[in-house]
């Protein structure tokens, strides 16, 4: 899949910069489209909902914190048994914005965003996409005590004992036994 490392081009997530007037802060809510699937951190995520975003500019100064809260529904294979596992993901992220004469993109820190001094609004698309990626879990379990798959026959051990483990055979030991047939008898 192409483009999985960048935010969708059709995202419109702009927030006005207000430096005068009574308003203390500004906020906005968006529902942004997500790709149907995304490969990240070795997992294949299916995305089941739009990305729901609440963005809030905290304070009315030229430097400010911007809070991004997001939530979405997804599914990914369990890291142990591969069963498709539904996920309800929510996250909260903060960025620090500061006006700068330097060109956009020359940010000194991942969470510090500089914007041109003459801006009247800022585009949050990249920060929202980054927050979305950071909110993806790198490990998914269908349940806390998932028994996983049998390393010998591949059976789903959540469905019951496949019989392999009752013989007490470890595949690594089995290899040794095949090479050295007498080892187990001598011990």
Residue linked to tokens 């539904």: 86
Candidates 66, 70, 74, 146; binder of Zn ion (CB under 5 A) is: 146
Least spacing, CB of residue 5 vs Zn ion, in Å = 28
Candidates 36, 153, 176, 180; binder of Zn ion (CB under 5 A) is: 153
Cβ-based burial of 57 (10 A; exposed 0-12, middle 13-18, buried ≥19) = buried
C-beta separation of 67 from 56 below 8 A: yes
Candidates 69, 150, 156, 177; binder of Zn ion (CB under 5 A) is: 150
Q: Does 140 bind Zn ion (CB under 5 A)?
A: no
> What CA–CA distance (Å, rounded) separates 186 from 43?
45
> What CA–CA distance (Å, rounded) separates 130 from 3?
13
Q: Does 149 bind Zn ion (CB under 5 A)?
A: no
The DSSP line for 74-101 is: EEEE-TTT--EEEEEEEEEEEEEEEEES
Candidates 80, 125, 128, 132; binder of Zn ion (CB under 5 A) is: 80
Least spacing, CB of residue 171 vs Zn ion, in Å = 10
Size of the site for Zn ion (CB under 5 A): 11
Q: Does 57 bind Zn ion (CB under 5 A)?
A: no
Residue 147's Cα: distance from chain center in Å?
24
User: What residues does 28 pair with on adjacent strands?
Assistant: 55
Q: Which stretch binds Zn ion (CB under 5 A): 17-25, 53-61, 131-139, 152-160?
A: 152-160
Q: Does 43 bind Zn ion (CB under 5 A)?
A: no
Residues that bind Zn ion in the complex, under the rule CB under 5 A: 78, 80-81, 142, 146, 150, 152-153, 155, 162, 164
């Amino acid at each position: 899949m192409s483009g999985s490392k960048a935010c969708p081009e059709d995202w419109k997530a702009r927030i006005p910069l207000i430096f005068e007037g009574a308003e203390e802060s500004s906020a906005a809510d968006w529902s942004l489209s997500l790709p149907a699937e995304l490969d990240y951190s070795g997992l294949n995520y299916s995305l089941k909902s739009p990305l729901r975003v609440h963005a809030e500019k905290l304070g009315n100064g030229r430097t400010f914190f911007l809070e991004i809260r997001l939530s979405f529904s997804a599914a990914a294979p369990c890291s142990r048994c591969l069963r498709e596992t539904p996920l309800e993901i929510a996250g909260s992220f903060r960025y620090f914005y500061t006006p700068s004469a330097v060109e956009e993109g020359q940010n000194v820190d991942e969470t510090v965003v500089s914007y041109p001094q003459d801006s009247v609004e800022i585009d949050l698309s990249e920060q929202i996409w980054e927050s979305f990626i950071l909110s993806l879990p790198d490990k998914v379990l269908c349940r806390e005590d998932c028994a996983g798959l049998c390393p010998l026959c591949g059976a789903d051990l959540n469905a019951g004992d496949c019989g392999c483990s009752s013989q007490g055979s470890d595949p690594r030991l089995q290899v040794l036994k095949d090479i050295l047939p007498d080892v187990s008898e001598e011990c």
